[in-house]
Amino acid sequence: MKESLAKDALPNVHVRAEVLVQALPHMQRYDQEIVVIKYGGHAMGDRAAAEDFAEDIVLLEQSGLKPIVVHGGGPQIGRMLGRLGIESEFRGGLRVTDEATVEVVEMVLAGSINKQIVGWISAEGGRAIGLCGKDGNMVRARKATRTVLDPESQTEQEIDLGLVGEPEHVERGVLDAVLKAELIPVLAPVAFGADGQTYNVNADTFAGAIAGALRAKRLLLLTDVPGVLDKDKKLITDLTLEDCRRLIADGTITGGMIPKIETCIYALEQGVEAVVILDGKVSHAVLLELFTDHGAGTLIRRT
């Protein structure tokens, strides 16, 4: 027998019903689809925000989606390097990684952060498994190359980033098996090279490679800004590939947003339907983006 509802409870029930009505079409659209979520070190925020994120991931899986979490950890790596007295150097927006640094990177990313996120998801009732690119030869990396403009000669010069890598190949069979077992993969962006060398891979780039290899329905890049901003610092809600290239060329997109956009372009060209850059500090940002009409960041499509 249904329980009777007090009159003052009816408005809340109606609100919940309306939310479900709005969310249902979106749930149906993403049913059994792969969604890759890059969870940045800056977006991790405090414990409450982390628990909200974990709750979102569990709800996605329970709603019929196949979420894959790729996490960063730049601030956490920086703090650990500081404790150990290892100085950090950045070139072209990426951390120069020597042998001592890559050991710390792997310890923090594939160790403490990875298992912490697995724990948060487990606490919310999910079944997560923590992996890195090394496991099952999931991701093979090659040494990353970057060039910068020399201010004196005005020529492009290659910079050596040490043991910083970029994905060369993704073996999707490992992830297919994990998803078939109805587990939620939580991936740390550390990978082997063909020579067995360990490489530190940018988490955005790693997530883009995973999403592209699995032809994900969506790639969500959670960061610490609302999305892509115009020159007046206002959010741009929708972009195409052509728009992205134009905004980089005219200087609207600058700094650390450029490599994120480059990852978006790569993922879309590999078959991902759409990519979203959004603020991971917003409560339940993932659900707002996927299960509401208005979304929560900048949506990027091919056309």
**Binding site members for substrate:** 73-74, 95, 200
Tell me the three-class secondary structure of the chain, residue by residue: CCCCCCHHHHHHHHHHHHHHHHHHHHHHHCCCCEEEEEECCCCCCCHHHHHHHHHHHHHHHHCCCEEEEEECCHHHHHHHHHHCCCCCCEECCEECECHHHHHHHHHHHHHHHHHHHHHHHHHCCCCEEEEECCHHHCEEEEECCEEEECCCCCCEEEECCECEEEEEEECHHHHHHHHHCCCEEEEECEEEECCCCEEEECHHHHHHHHHHHCCCCEEEEEECCCCCECCCCCECCEEEHHHHHHHHHCCCCCCCHHHHHHHHHHHHHCCCCEEEEEECCCCCHHHHHHHCCCCCEEEEECC
Residues annotated within a binding site = 73-74, 95, 200
